[in-house]
Amino acid sequence: MNAAASDPALRAELDAGLAALGLDAALAVPLLAYLALLDRWNRTYNLTAIRDPRAMVSLHLLDSLAMQPFVRDLGNLADLGSGAGLPGIPLAIAVPALQVTLVESNGKKARFLREAARTLALGNVRVAESRAEALAQPGAFDAITARAMAALADLLAAGAHLLRPGGRLLAMKGVVPDDEIAALPPGWQVQAVHPLVVPGLAAERHLVVVGRAPH
């Protein structure tokens, strides 16, 4: 068995993190299966710079899940530049009613994402092997998200066409990105900035919600 799935300390850390986030302990099983798959593929495909599965619990799984209260009421979500499937796959596991599209242009990473969706039987996940700006699904999504992929203005340039009227960008950031907020393009405004508490992570994390400004 993969060490990432069988390490009792890792399981205990994940269980504690899920409890702190108010999430069902049963989620640990599919989350650890995802982590084991990521750990195995990472040795060959370099999907993430983080190599230690225990570090992945806080820096990948719990960090992604910290934003789940803000996607529970959405019908669908596009995860831009999804990479190893973060935050999209943990969110899809935690919120089965949410339809998640993982947008990733790198072929090796897209192959991993398809394998993860198949292995974990995530019927609410699809993979779009494409650059975000080239994805021909205008107005198809309630929200787009990205995890430290680019500045807010660049995320909107790449993915704003994917948003339905009233749709929002949910950008995962570290410290509040005041410079990026000041540089938002005309027609867009910050609707909220939510501090996120990530179990096991001392660094600042915020979710910046950006929507179209009223006319």
Alpha-carbon gap, residue 116 to 46, rounded angstroms? 15
CATH of the domain at 111: 3.40.50.150
Cβ neighbors of 114 (< 8 A, separation 6 or more) are: 127
Question: Which pLDDT value is given to residue 53?
Answer: 84
pLDDT digits (tens, 9 = 90+) for 93-146: 999 999 999 999 999 999 999 999 999 999 999 999 999 999 999 999 999 999
Alpha-carbon gap, residue 129 to 65, rounded angstroms? 24
Alpha-carbon gap, residue 149 to 90, rounded angstroms? 17
Report strand pairing: 141-147 vs 206-212.
unpaired
Q: Is the pLDDT of residue 148 over 70?
A: no
Confidence of residue 149 (pLDDT cuts 50, 70, 90): low
Supply the range of the domain harboring residue 61.
3-212
Domain count, the chain: 1
Q: Could you tell me the pTM of the whole model?
A: 0.95
Question: Which pLDDT value is given to residue 1?
Answer: 44
Percent above pLDDT 90 for the chain: 87
Confidence of residue 48 (pLDDT cuts 50, 70, 90): confident
Q: Is the pLDDT of residue 56 over 70?
A: yes
Question: Which of 141, 157, 171, 163 is CA-nearest to residue 212?
Answer: 163
pLDDT digits (tens, 9 = 90+) for 153-208: 999 999 999 999 999 999 999 999 999 999 999 999 999 999 999 999 999 999 99
